[in-house]
């Protein structure tokens, strides 16, 4: 693939790929970084791109994997807006932090596929269609996996909070 062909076929995918990366990562700068990494990876594989039926789908798969790698490396954070709602009550702040920590711990125990689907839907706000596209599965399967994950998280949290009662 020549430079001109690359500019004609790959570069126009940038807007769509940026939107997907932004939805997955929730951060504009991270999305731009991942998009640059995607372009670099596609440029390195430009000789193989002619053999691929759908450059769009191939780019989307690479992008998804790069976003998931980036999400795995991120440290957990606490939403400052949630903390502001508690004002100066240190007990409520402590309880909230403890609750968030428990939920994150339980979510981390989910199988990877369910954990990713739950994060994309409940935390990142992705649509079922977007999740299905990125997870290479049907929307119905995404719904089922999400339902199973939520039920399991609920049951595990009930065990934690009802312990000794």
The answer to whether residues 69 and 93 belong to one domain is no
The domain total for the chain is 2
Last-in-domain residue among 26, 56, 73: 73
The answer to whether residues 89 and 68 belong to one domain is no
Last-in-domain residue among 46, 73, 100: 73
pLDDT at residue 103, rounded to an integer: 80
Q: Which residues of the chain have pLDDT under 70?
A: 75-98, 163-165
pLDDT at residue 118, rounded to an integer: 86
């400052």: which residue's tokens? Answer: 80
pLDDT at residue 34, rounded to an integer: 92
The answer to whether residues 98 and 35 belong to one domain is no
Distance of alpha carbon 35 from the chain centroid: 15
Considering the entire predicted model, what is its pTM?
0.47
The answer to whether residues 65 and 93 belong to one domain is no
pLDDT at residue 32, rounded to an integer: 92
Domain that holds residue 103: 80-161
Asked if residue 60 lies in contact with residue 10, where contact means CB atoms within 8 angstroms, the answer is no
User: What SS3 state is found at 49?
Assistant: helix
- Burial, 112: exposed, middle or buried (Cβ in 10 Å; 0-12, 13-18, 19+)? exposed
């Amino acid at each position: 693939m020549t430079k001109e062909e690359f500019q004609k076929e790959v570069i126009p995918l940038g807007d769509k790929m940026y939107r997907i990366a932004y939805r997955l990562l929730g951060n504009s700068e991270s999305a731009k970084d991942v998009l640059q990494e995607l372009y670099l990876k596609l440029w390195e594989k430009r000789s193989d791109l002619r053999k691929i039926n759908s450059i769009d789908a191939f780019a989307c798969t690479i992008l998804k994997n790069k976003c998931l790698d980036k999400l795995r490396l991120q440290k957990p954070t606490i939403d400052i807006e949630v903390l502001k709602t508690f004002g100066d009550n240190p007990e409520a702040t402590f309880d909230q932090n403890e609750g968030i920590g428990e939920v994150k711990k339980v979510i981390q125990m989910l199988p990877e596929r369910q954990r990713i689907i739950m994060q994309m839907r409940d935390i990142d706000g992705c649509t079922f269609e977007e999740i299905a596209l990125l997870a290479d599965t049907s929307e119905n399967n995404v719904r089922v996996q999400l339902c199973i994950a939520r039920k399991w998280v609920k049951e595990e949290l009930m065990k934690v909070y009802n312990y000794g009662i």
